[in-house]
Chain A
Amino acid sequence: MEELTFDRVGERMYRQKLENGLTVCVFPKPEFQKGYAFFATNYGGMDVRFCLNGVWTDSPAGVAHYLEHKMFDTKEGNALQDLAANGASPNAFTSTAITGYYFESTEKFEENLRILLSFVSQPWFTQESVDKERGIIGQEIGMIQDNPDWKVFTNLMAALYQYHPIRLSVAGSVESIAQITPDTLYACHKAFYDPANMVLCVAGPVEAERICQIAREILPKEAGPIAGRDYGPQEPEQAAQTLIEETMAVSTPIFQLGYKGDAPQRGEAGARQELLGELACEALLGNSTPLYARLYREGLINRNFSYGYEAVPGAAFLAAGGESKDPEAVRRAVQQKAERIVREGVDPDLWRRIKKGSYGGKVRSLNSFETLCIGQAQSFFAGSDLLDFPRLFDTIDKADVENLIARWVTPERTALSVVRPGEEESK
């Protein structure tokens, strides 16, 4: 077992790759009451076309999410109820790149961990239960399609990307999920829920050896084949379209402004690009910049304004958005600011402050076991370690961020997604 220490953030992590290929990461926290376990597969909404044992399969959009819903069913009943009766709060999510199952509990942690590992590794689907779920997920799809925040973001993805399956809605559509059968679910579980394609991250008053022992007991003994994936043709650098607009029941226009970045590399380079992307946002339009203050004063943005860097295999972008009476004016102002940064550089005093503020914010976020475990799972799938960031932070200087802004924040790489009030609302 490897022991990694991260002195600057006061953390320790044990890591072990088991015989069946599963990687286990444990953060011992003897001074805490609760334990938290996150069991994830490197499989999300974008992994629709895959190859197992030489055979290519095109699965319907939304199958990873559907599978997540159905995994809680067990031969004996439902794992959610079993965990709840033990005082645990369990849940799960599916994102574009991963699917994760988790719980936290202060009592019976080991028993709960066994339940978690069992139900995620042992599929149990019947025609009846799969059909019943279709209505529930159909309602969920209807609900998110009515959600303007979801709409504006999904539209941004469709505008930025031409081929990459980041364009797909994680939940799929009512039409796509109509094709899902128990066989589809079993096939996708076999392709992606092999221990070698998964990671278990645990934080709490636990011993790493015990966690590994339990995982060995419950999970399959040997690694199976892992599916290959296809994300479509090479994406161009440019955005697929510059503007995408839609009308919905909102009281003010909402928007997402995106800039297409370079696909992240695996390992340290990708982790460093994430820090660069975050700092680029802070320097360009973050809370402490004069641009932010000006947009706020002019009523072009309000407190709902937020921004960040996002990446999945094969795609990365910067996005900023919120409510605005004139989203195009926001985009013009950001573009002008970017050009000015390219000419004159980022103000050295501002740079020093945002680097300090951003560092502190990242360290503080580690209070949360969710941040720690989910973050480590994502980093692991991307070939890096979450807690390496202080070291990488030191290697970043102002010129790196100016360079990223010069390459990414350009008229060719931008897309603007706007949801406007319909006539009914604007009366």
Chain B
Amino acid sequence: MSEVTRRELMPGVWLRCIHTGKFKSAYLSVTLMAPLRAETAAENALIPAVLRQGTAEHPDLESLSAALDELYGGAIEPVVRKKGETQCVGFVASFLDDAYTLEGETVLEGAAALLGELLLRPYTQDGFFCPDYTRGEKENLIGRIRGQMNDKRRYATHRLVEEMCREEAFGVDKLGDVAHVEAITPQSLWQRYQDLLSTAQIELYYCGSAQPERVEQAMRRALEGLPQSQERLCPECEVALHAGAEPRYVEERLDVTQGKLAMGFRTGGITCWEADYPALTVLNALFGGTTMSRLFLNVREKLSLCYYASSTLEKMKGLLMVSSGIEFDKYDTARTEILAQLESIRRGEMEDWELEGTRSILINGHRSTLDDQGRLEEFWLGQSAAGLDTDIEQLVEGIRRVTREQVAAAAQKLELDTIYFLRGREG
């Protein structure tokens, strides 16, 4: 069995260790947790990408590759994630577990040191980030932001969130926006980097066969040179309990052939911190979270109203979002049918097979997270951002106990806040 520990290495710097021998690799991550804000999101998102280009000791990609080869072909990737209203930036890394090296050498210490080096000792020119690296990664980031528009399904959800939370931090995209990226200079980025290093709560993660004490020692050494600070705080997440009196309707016209209908609900205050959260997860799965859900089987398969229809949950912010692809002229029927399905759940109309099947799929999903290092890290980062220590077995227990009445009660709390409809230029 794996054993989970979490300890504070210095004020605001935490290390979570999953001690297990079941994997061939050790999985590490380092994450800086910053409040999500329009003014800083783009710079924060750019920082790990620029850091990954070179360090004082390994000034370019070629020498970094050589260092990774020496560590048995390890991988270190820059990442930007959004958990509630926290922007999480840093690196995830996968290395060969020490148990499998050819001559009994250890990889962990070298891997941790290289992560620390990437985080704390970047390659600089004239005391700032290298202008070439900054320019190149700005282009890549702008490409990624613009690329979000290519996938209209993601774009519709992105626009829904932007509209629904236009007065909340959650409305800001994790990558920031193009205008803010364009304004970045090596100097401004350097300033932001210094601020981040001294104000962000830092979350370190390890999953592998090494004892937590040894991991702690390796991480402490790797982070020598990190500014000491008493100000590291985990950002808060503001939860709006209710939607406005009437749902807000937003329509956008683009050159598309298929329409996208996205609907955002407030969960009436049910978030991951509340006792009725397990019921909300079952509700979401049953309504639109699986291939045996109401939206999939009824709205998509039976009535053929949509090319796809599904729902997702934002557990910290308390949002449930429906996403569907429809013909332009099916707007009214699709919207009505989606809401009718929700009404029927509110009335407690759930078959045994669908309730049990949904429960089974949810539990299967949670349990298999334990077998996947990447998903496990993602899960624990979410828990850290929320300040929770609930583990997967506890979540599974919660889901097992959810009753039909509790699912109906959670459904009754949903309030439709915003409807976003993307349609073609004609018609």
**Do A and B come together as binding partners?**
yes
* Interface positions of A (Cβ within 8 A of B): 8-10, 29, 31-34, 81, 84-89, 104-107, 287-288, 290, 292-293, 296, 353-354, 356-361, 363-364, 366-367, 369
Cβ–Cβ contact B69 & A9, under 8 A: no
Q: How far is the CA of A88 from the CA of B61 in the complex (A)?
A: 42
Cβ–Cβ contact A353 & B100, under 8 A: no
Sorted from nearest, which 8 A-B pairs have the closest CB atoms?
A360-B72, A357-B73, A357-B69, A87-B360, A360-B73, A87-B364, A353-B69, A360-B96
B149 to chain A, nearest CB (A): 14
Q: How far is the CA of A106 from the CA of B22 in the complex (A)?
A: 16
Contacts of A106 in B (CB 8 A): 363-364, 367-368
Q: Which of A105, A353, A357, A358: most chain B Cβ within 10 A? A: A357
Check if B99 is an interface residue, CB within 8 A of chain A.
Answer: yes
Q: A363-B96, A366-B24 are in contact. Are A293 and B363 (CB under 8 A)?
A: no
Contacts of A86 in B (CB 8 A): 360
Contacts of A360 in B (CB 8 A): 71-74, 95-96, 100
A247 to chain B, nearest CB (A): 20
Cβ–Cβ contact B73 & A296, under 8 A: no
Residue-wise, chain B 39-62 has the 8 Å CB interface mask toward A (1 for contact) of: 000000000000000000000111
List the B residue with the shortest CB-CB distance to A80. B291
Contacts of A81 in B (CB 8 A): 292
Q: Which of B61, B72, B74: most chain A Cβ within 10 A? A: B72
Check if B308 is an interface residue, CB within 8 A of chain A.
Answer: no
B377 to chain A, nearest CB (A): 13
Q: A32-B22, A85-B292, A107-B360 are in contact. Are A356 and B72 (CB under 8 A)?
A: yes
B3 to chain A, nearest CB (A): 12
> Contacting B292 at CB < 8 Å: which of A29, A84, A358?
A84
Cβ–Cβ contact A104 & B69, under 8 A: no
Q: A32-B22, A106-B363 are in contact. Are A367 and B370 (CB under 8 A)?
A: no
Contacts of A9 in B (CB 8 A): 24, 100
Cβ–Cβ contact A367 & B61, under 8 A: no
Q: Which of B61, B62, B71, B353: most chain A Cβ within 10 A? A: B62
Q: How far is the CA of A290 from the CA of B60 in the complex (A)?
A: 12
Check if B23 is an interface residue, CB within 8 A of chain A.
Answer: yes
B315 to chain A, nearest CB (A): 21
> Contacting B368 at CB < 8 Å: which of A31, A33, A292?
A33
Contacts of B62 in A (CB 8 A): 288, 290, 292-293
A68 to chain B, nearest CB (A): 19
Q: A8-B100, A33-B368, A34-B371 are in contact. Are A85 and B69 (CB under 8 A)?
A: no
List the B residue with the shortest CB-CB distance to A296. B61
Q: How far is the CA of A366 from the CA of B99 in the complex (A)?
A: 14
Cβ–Cβ contact B24 & A288, under 8 A: no
Residue-wise, chain B 94-121 has the 8 Å CB interface mask toward A (1 for contact) of: 1110011010000000000000000000
Contacts of B324 in A (CB 8 A): none
Contacts of A356 in B (CB 8 A): 69-70, 72-73, 102
B376 to chain A, nearest CB (A): 11
A386 to chain B, nearest CB (A): 14
